[in-house]
Amino acid sequence: MKLKVKQLKLSVGKPVAILHTNTAERLQVQEDNRIKLRKYYKEGSKRKWITAVVDVAFSILKENEIALTQDVIKALGIKQGSYVELMTEVHPTSINYVIKKMNGGKLNYTEIYSIISDISKGRLTKAEIAYFTSGCYYSGLDFNEMVNLTKAMVKTGAILKHKNKFVLDLHCAGGVAGNRTSPIVVSLVGSAIEYLKLDAVLPKTASRAITSAAGTSDVMETVSRVEFTVPEIYRILKKTKACLVWNSALKLSPADDRIVKVETLVSLDAEAQIISSILSKKIADGATHVLMDIPYGYGAKFDVTGAIAIKKKFLKMASKFGLKMKVILTEGNKPIGRGIGPVLEMLDVLSVLKHQKNRPRDLEKKSIMLSAELLSLTKNISKSKAISICKLLLYSGRAYKKFKQIVIAQGGKFNFEDLLKKAKFKLKIKTKKTGKVKAINNKKIALVAKIAGCPGDKGSGVYLCKHIGDKVLVGDTLFTIYSESKEKLKYAEKIAKQAFPFIIS
Amino acid sequence: MKLKVKQLKLSVGKPVAILHTNTAERLQVQEDNRIKLRKYYKEGSKRKWITAVVDVAFSILKENEIALTQDVIKALGIKQGSYVELMTEVHPTSINYVIKKMNGGKLNYTEIYSIISDISKGRLTKAEIAYFTSGCYYSGLDFNEMVNLTKAMVKTGAILKHKNKFVLDLHCAGGVAGNRTSPIVVSLVGSAIEYLKLDAVLPKTASRAITSAAGTSDVMETVSRVEFTVPEIYRILKKTKACLVWNSALKLSPADDRIVKVETLVSLDAEAQIISSILSKKIADGATHVLMDIPYGYGAKFDVTGAIAIKKKFLKMASKFGLKMKVILTEGNKPIGRGIGPVLEMLDVLSVLKHQKNRPRDLEKKSIMLSAELLSLTKNISKSKAISICKLLLYSGRAYKKFKQIVIAQGGKFNFEDLLKKAKFKLKIKTKKTGKVKAINNKKIALVAKIAGCPGDKGSGVYLCKHIGDKVLVGDTLFTIYSESKEKLKYAEKIAKQAFPFIIS
C-alpha cells in the first residue's frame, strides 16, 4: 500500500505514523501496533524499511494519507506530499498464549515471558492486554504461573541493585483516601537509619493515582521531582539513605504499569495480578525487607476475609523470592488525615512532620506504627524500642529534617513549603442534621476530589473538617472542596450532595 | 489542568485533542475517551466547554502541551502557544453494566442498550469493549440477552426501509478462501427479479476483510464504489433491484463493527456475538427473506456439530424477529475458485459471469445453488424451477449484464474490466512431490495472500493452479503468489514454503 506523506511539525521520541481509521482497518492494524514503511519509488526500492508505532486518528487525514512525525521524516529523508509504501508486521506470537490462557490453558515461563515482554515493549494493544487480564481473571493463575508472571515482569524492566545489608521498602494496598503515610515513614525510617547507623537504604518507589484522587508520587511531586533515572536514584540514596520517587519513570516492571492501566478501566482486581504487580515492583527496586499494609473494611479494597486470604498468598510468594516480608492488616473503613488531593495531603504530611498542634493524629499514629514495624523487620531492634525511637525522631524534628533533605536531593526548592498553594476556589459542604459522624465513604470522597480536579490540579481536592466520632450541629461544615475552576467546583458540589460521603445519626 | 496549544495543520471531521501519554495518565483518560476543554483565562472564564475525542501519542508532545486539530482550533478561536483548560468527563454508566456482565450477571434491555449505544458513539475504548466481549464469552448470553443485544445493535444504527414484498439477502459465515459467491448471486438473483417480475430487491451489504485476504466489499471495490449513503442505496436499487455495498459505510449496527474489530485481535468467536452480529445487519438492511450459508469442515470456522448447533440458534432468533430464514450447511474444507485476493477473486467472478471456458466450476455451481435457494425462499417458485432459471440467466449472459449495470450504478467505469490489474511481481510455488492434491488449507492460503499484500494491495494474492483431486508431477506449479513489492513477495514465499498449504500424497 502506498500513502501520501503529511509532515507533522512535532518533536518525537519514537517514529510515529498516524493513519486514517479506514486505512488502518484495511491494513488490519490498530493503535500501538507496529508497521514497516519506506520511501516509495515507481521502479521499486531496495531501501531499508523502518518500523513506526501506529496511531489511528478519527478523520484527521484522508484515507490515502499518512501523517509522520519528524523522526520518521528525517529517517526516511522524505518530503511533504511524496509517497511511502507500507508493510504490516505479522501478529506477535504472544497472542497465541493470550488465547491459550483465555481457553483455560496453563502457561509456562516461556509463554508468560513472551506475553509480558511484548506488553513491556508496547507490542500488544490495550484491547489485547484486556483479553489477557480477562483470561487470567476467569481461568485463574496457579502458584507457579504467579511466580513466573512476577519473574517475567521483573526481568522485562529495570532492576535496582544496592550494596546494603538491608534494603527496606513498604507498600500500602490502597483504597483509603488521604492515607499518605509513605512520605512520613520514609523520612522517619530514613532518619532512623542514620540514627541507628544501620547498613540500610529505603528506596521507596510509588505510583501516581490510579483510581484515587492522588497517588504518593502525585503528592511528593508538589514539593520535588519524582521522575528519575536509575543512576540518579543511586546518587540520591548515597546522600539521603531514603527517597520517594515515581516507579513508572524508573521503568521497574513496565508491563505491570500497562496492565494496571487497562484493568483500571473496569476496576478489575484479579488477585493473582495484584500480588505479582506489587511484588514485581519490590523485587525490581532491590528490596530485601518489605512491610505490606493491607487496609480492610467498609469502603476499602478488601473485607477482613479477603485481607487475610491475600496476606497468606503474599507471604508464600515473598518467601519464594527470598524476600523477608511482614504483612499487617489495618482498619481501612474511613479516610486518614484531613486532606484529600496532592497539596492538601502534603500539608497534612508536613503538619505531622513539624509536630504542629492541629496535626492529624490518626496519620501520625499510623505512620509511627508502620515505621516501627519496618525498622523491627531488620531484627536489629525490638518493636517497642523501635516505637520509642520513631517518636523521638519525629517529635524532635529529625524526621522533618530528613524530609527536607530528601526534597532538596530530589530537586525541590529550599522554600518548597511556601510554594504549596491550595486551589483558587473553595466551597463548604454543611450538614443539615445534628448528630455524630458515623462513617465517611472513601470512594465517594475520592470521587468528589477527582471531579474537583485531582490529581491533575495539584491544589484541588477535599479537606475534611469533621471526622468519624465528631459531634455536629445543623449548619456545621463537614468538608471543604477546593478547585481551580468555578465550574468544576459546582459540579463537585452537585456530586458531593448527591453521593453524600458522610453518614450522620 | 492547563495545557499549551500546538496547532495541527490537519483537516478534521471531529474535534480531536492529542495528549502526551503521561498527561493522559494523570487525567485518567485513554484513546477514544472524551474530554472537555476551553480557552484558558487567568481571571477565570465563563466560556463554553467543547468536547473533543482524545488521542494519546507516544512522546509526540511535551507533557504540558496539547495538539489540537483545526476543528478545535476554530471552535475555540485559539492560537498556537496559548493555553486551554481541561475537564475530564465522568466514566460512562455503561461501564457498570460491563462489570455486571463480567461478574456473571444477566443484563436487561436498558443495560445492554446503554453499552451498545456507548460503543456505537465511541464512548467505550477498545479495551473496555474487550472486557465486555470477555464477559459475554465467559458468562454467556441467554436467548433473551441475545435478542436484546440484536435489538440494541439495530436501534443504534441506520435502518434501511423498502416497500417491496420481498427484501432478499444472503450471508456466508466465512472462513473459506476465495469463496466469492456474493457478486454472482447478487447479479443472478437481480436479473431473476426482473425476469420473474418479482416485487423484490436484494440490498446486499457486505464487510471488508476481517481476518481473511479479502472481504466481499474489497473485491467489489476493484470495479466500483462500495461506500454509499442510505438515500444513494435507494436510488441504486430503484435502477438495478440489487446492489453490493460496504455495510460499515452505511452505519448499519455500527456497534457491531467495533465489537468485531476488537474480537478479531484474539480470534474470539463468541457464538452469541456472531449470531447477533449477523442478524443485526440483516434486520438493519431491511431484509425479509435471508439465506445463510454456513461452511463447515477442516480449515473452516465450524465443524459439522458446531454448524448444526448454530443453525438452530439462527433459526430461533430469526423467527423472533419475523425474518424468513433458510440456513444451509456447505462443505468448507477447501478454497473455492482459483483466485484469493481482491482483483484475483473478481477475475474468477467475471469468468463465471461471462461463462468463460476456464471458469472455476466449483464457484459457478455453488453460486447457482445459492441463487436458486434464495429465489425459492420467496415461495413463488420451486427449487428445481429456480435452478433452471438461474442456469438460463447465467449462461445467456443476463446475469453478467446485470452485474455491469450494478457496477455502473455504483459509480464504476464502463471499461472496468480493462482496469483490473494483477500485481506487478509474481512467483510460482512448485511441488517437490508427485501425487494427488489431498487438501488445501484455507487459513494458510489466506495467510500467504495477506503477507503478499492483501487486502490493501488490490492486485496481490494467490492464484491456485491446482485444486483438490488434481494429479501433480514434481515441478508442477501449485499456486502463484502476486505482490506489488519484491520484498513482500519474498516474505510470502518464505511463509508459503514453511506453512505449506497443500497436502499431496
Instruction: Collect all residues of chain A within an 8 Å Cβ-Cβ radius of residue B262.
Output: 127
| C-alpha triplet A106, A111, A116: angle, nearest 5° | 115
Q: How confident is the model at residue A91 (pLDDT cuts 50, 70, 90)?
A: confident
Q: A303-307, B42-46, B399-403: which has the minimum mean pLDDT?
A: B42-46
3-state secondary structure of B457: coil
Which residue from A128, A266, A486 is facing B99, i.e. has the nearest CB?
Answer: A266
Helices A109-120 and A94-102 sit at what angle, rounded to 10 degrees?
Answer: 120
Check B59 against A128: CB less than 8 A apart: no
CB A496 within 8 A of CB A443: no
Q: Is the peptide bond before A203 cis (omega within 30 degrees of 0)?
A: no
- For residues B313 and B270, membership in a common domain is answered with yes
By C-alpha distance, the chain A residue nearest B31 is: A31
Identify from B18, B22, B23, B26 which residue to disrupt to test chain A contact, counting A C-beta atoms within 10 A and taking the largest count. B26
Task: Please report whether residue B147 resides in a domain.
Answer: no
What CATH number is associated with residue A60?
2.40.40.20
Three cell numbers written together for B350: 467475471
Phi, psi of A403 (to 5 degrees): -60, -45
C-alpha to C-alpha distance for A403 and A224, rounded to whole angstroms: 11
Q: Is residue B57's pLDDT more than 80?
A: no
Q: Give B428's strand partners.
A: B480
C-alpha to C-alpha distance for B101 and B122, rounded to whole angstroms: 20
Q: Is residue A414's pLDDT more than 80?
A: yes
Instruction: Collect all residues of chain A within an 8 Å Cβ-Cβ radius of residue B40.
Output: none
Determine whether A269 is an active site residue. yes
Task: Please report whether residue B149 resides in a domain.
Answer: no
Check A59 against B12: CB less than 8 A apart: yes
Instruction: Collect all residues of chain B within an 8 Å Cβ-Cβ radius of residue A26.
Output: 208-209, 218, 455-456
Task: Please report whether residue A156 resides in a domain.
Answer: no
CB A88 within 8 A of CB A36: yes
**Of A39, A29, A55, residue with least CA distance to A4:** A39
What CATH number is associated with residue B333?
3.40.1030.10
- For residues B283 and B381, membership in a common domain is answered with yes
C-alpha to C-alpha distance for A77 and A37, rounded to whole angstroms: 12
Residue B6 to chain A, least CA–CA distance (Å): 9
Predicted TM-score (pTM) of this structure: 0.84
Instruction: Collect all residues of chain A within an 8 Å Cβ-Cβ radius of residue B11.
Output: 60
Which residue from A6, A10, A264 is facing B61, i.e. has the nearest CB?
Answer: A10
Task: Please report whether residue A76 resides in a domain.
Answer: yes
Q: How confident is the model at residue B325 (pLDDT cuts 50, 70, 90)?
A: very high
Instruction: Collect all residues of chain A within an 8 Å Cβ-Cβ radius of residue B484.
Output: 85
Q: Is the dihedral of CA A176, A177, A183, A184 positive or negative?
A: negative
Instruction: Collect all residues of chain B within an 8 Å Cβ-Cβ radius of residue A28.
Output: 209, 211, 264, 450
- For residues A478 and A408, membership in a common domain is answered with no
Which residue from A14, A59, A209 is facing B58, i.e. has the nearest CB?
Answer: A14
Highest-scoring range by mean pLDDT, A115-124, A438-447, B462-471: B462-471
Of B385, B416, B447, which one is at a domain's C-terminal end? Answer: B416
Instruction: Collect all residues of chain B within an 8 Å Cβ-Cβ radius of residue A31.
Output: 31, 126
Q: Is residue A44's pLDDT more than 70?
A: no
Q: How confident is the model at residue A14 (pLDDT cuts 50, 70, 90)?
A: low
- Number of CB atoms found within 10 A of residue B96's CB: 14
State the DSSP H helix or E strand holding residue B439, giving kind and residue range, or none if neither. Answer: strand B435-440
Q: Is the peptide bond before A455 cis (omega within 30 degrees of 0)?
A: yes
Q: Please report the number of interchain residue pairs, chain A to chain B, with beta-carbon separation below 8 angstroms.
A: 165
Phi, psi of A67 (to 5 degrees): -95, 130
Residue B452 to chain A, least CA–CA distance (Å): 9
- For residues B306 and B389, membership in a common domain is answered with yes
- For residues A79 and A117, membership in a common domain is answered with no
Written as one string, the DSSP assignment of B287-304 is -SEEEEEEEESTTSSB-H
Three cell numbers written together for B310: 448454530
Instruction: Collect all residues of chain A within an 8 Å Cβ-Cβ radius of residue B268.
Output: 102, 131
C-alpha to C-alpha distance for A78 and B425, rounded to whole angstroms: 25
By C-alpha distance, the chain A residue nearest B217 is: A26
- For residues B69 and B98, membership in a common domain is answered with no
Of B88, B115, B131, which one is at a domain's C-terminal end? Answer: B88
Identify from A266, A267, A486, A488 which residue to disrupt to test chain B contact, counting B C-beta atoms within 10 A and taking the largest count. A266
Check A208 against B138: CB less than 8 A apart: no
C-alpha to C-alpha distance for B252 and B278, rounded to whole angstroms: 11
Q: How confident is the model at residue A87 (pLDDT cuts 50, 70, 90)?
A: confident
Of B125, B140, B155, which one is at a domain's C-terminal end? Answer: B140
- For residues A289 and A409, membership in a common domain is answered with yes
**Of B230, B222, B183, residue with least CA distance to B204:** B183
Q: How confident is the model at residue A418 (pLDDT cuts 50, 70, 90)?
A: very high
* Helical spans, DSSP H, in A354-441: 361-376, 383-395, 398-409, 416-419
Instruction: Name the average pLDDT for chain B.
Output: 90
CB B282 within 8 A of CB B154: no
Rounded mean pLDDT, B126-146 = 93
Check B456 against A27: CB less than 8 A apart: yes
Choosing from A269, A348, A457, A470, the catalytic residue is A269
Highest-scoring range by mean pLDDT, B21-25, B171-175, B278-282: B278-282
Task: Please report whether residue B258 resides in a domain.
Answer: no
- For residues B217 and B245, membership in a common domain is answered with yes
- Number of CB atoms found within 10 A of residue B380's CB: 15
Q: Give B204's strand partners.
A: B244
C-alpha to C-alpha distance for B309 and B469, rounded to whole angstroms: 30
Residue B471: domain span: 425-504
Check B16 against A125: CB less than 8 A apart: no
Written as one string, the DSSP assignment of B167-222 is EEEEEE----TT---HHHHHHHHHHHHHHTT-SEEEEEEE---SSSS--HHHHHTT
Task: Please report whether residue A463 resides in a domain.
Answer: yes
3-state secondary structure of B468: coil
Rounded mean pLDDT, B420-430 = 96
CB B245 within 8 A of CB B182: no
What pLDDT, on the 0 to 100 scale, is given for residue B328? Answer: 95
Check B265 against A30: CB less than 8 A apart: yes
Which residue from B25, B31, B131 is facing A208, i.e. has the nearest CB?
Answer: B25
Instruction: Name the average pLDDT for chain A.
Output: 90
CA B203 to chain CA centroid, nearest Å: 15
- For residues A370 and A445, membership in a common domain is answered with no
For chain B, give the percent of residues with pLDDT over 90.
64
Written as one string, the DSSP assignment of A153-183 is HHHTS------SSEEEEEEE----TT---HH
By C-alpha distance, the chain A residue nearest B210 is: A28
Report how many domains make up chain A.
4
More confident residue, A160 or A76: A160
- For residues B45 and B194, membership in a common domain is answered with no
Q: Give A36's strand partners.
A: A51, A87
C-alpha to C-alpha distance for B264 and B268, rounded to whole angstroms: 6
Check A87 against B487: CB less than 8 A apart: yes
Which residue from B10, B28, B134 is facing A134, i.e. has the nearest CB?
Answer: B134
Instruction: Collect all residues of chain B within an 8 Å Cβ-Cβ radius of residue A84.
Output: none
By C-alpha distance, the chain B residue nearest A212 is: B28
Instruction: Collect all residues of chain A within an 8 Å Cβ-Cβ radius of residue B25.
Output: 208, 261
What pLDDT, on the 0 to 100 scale, is given for residue A90? Answer: 65
What are the distances in angstroms from CA B16 to CA A324, A500, B486?
49, 35, 38
By C-alpha distance, the chain A residue nearest B458 is: A1
- Number of CB atoms found within 10 A of residue A69's CB: 27
Q: Is residue B452's pLDDT more than 60?
A: yes
Cα first-last separation, chain B? 69
Rounded mean pLDDT, B427-445 = 93
State the DSSP H helix or E strand holding residue B72, giving kind and residue range, or none if neither. Answer: helix B70-76
Q: Is the dihedral of CA A429, A433, A436, A437 positive or negative?
A: negative
**Of B246, B178, B157, B172, residue with least CA distance to B207:** B246
Q: A23-37, A78-92, B235-249, B293-307: which has the minimum mean pLDDT?
A: A23-37
| C-alpha triplet B402, B404, B407: angle, nearest 5° | 110
Task: Please report whether residue A149 resides in a domain.
Answer: no
Residue A462 to chain B, least CA–CA distance (Å): 17
C-alpha to C-alpha distance for A380 and A178, rounded to whole angstroms: 32
Check A60 against B129: CB less than 8 A apart: no
What pLDDT digit, counting tens, does each position of A141-163 carry? 999 999 999 999 999 999 999 99
Which residue from A12, A53, A131 is facing B130, i.e. has the nearest CB?
Answer: A131
Written as one string, the DSSP assignment of B253-271 is SHHHHHHHHHHHTTT---H
Give catalytic residue positions of B. 269
- For residues A213 and A297, membership in a common domain is answered with yes
Rounded mean pLDDT, A389-397 = 97
Rounded mean pLDDT, B441-450 = 89
More confident residue, B222 or A11: B222
- For residues A215 and A364, membership in a common domain is answered with yes
Check B53 against A53: CB less than 8 A apart: no
Sheet arrangement for strand A166-172 = A242-246, A200-206, A166-172, A289-296, A324-331
**ipTM above 0.85?**
no
| C-alpha triplet A438, A444, A450: angle, nearest 5° | 140
Identify from A3, A28, A102 which residue to disrupt to test chain B contact, counting B C-beta atoms within 10 A and taking the largest count. A28
Which residue from A13, A67, A453 is facing B58, i.e. has the nearest CB?
Answer: A13
CB B375 within 8 A of CB B200: no
Which residue from B26, B99, B265 is facing A125, i.e. has the nearest CB?
Answer: B265
| C-alpha triplet A234, A148, A251: angle, nearest 5° | 30
CB B302 within 8 A of CB B310: yes
Three cell numbers written together for A248: 513508572
Task: Please report whether residue A257 resides in a domain.
Answer: no
Check B60 against A262: CB less than 8 A apart: no
Q: Is residue B37's pLDDT more than 70?
A: yes
What pLDDT digit, counting tens, does each position of A191-220 carry? 999 999 999 999 999 988 877 889 999 999
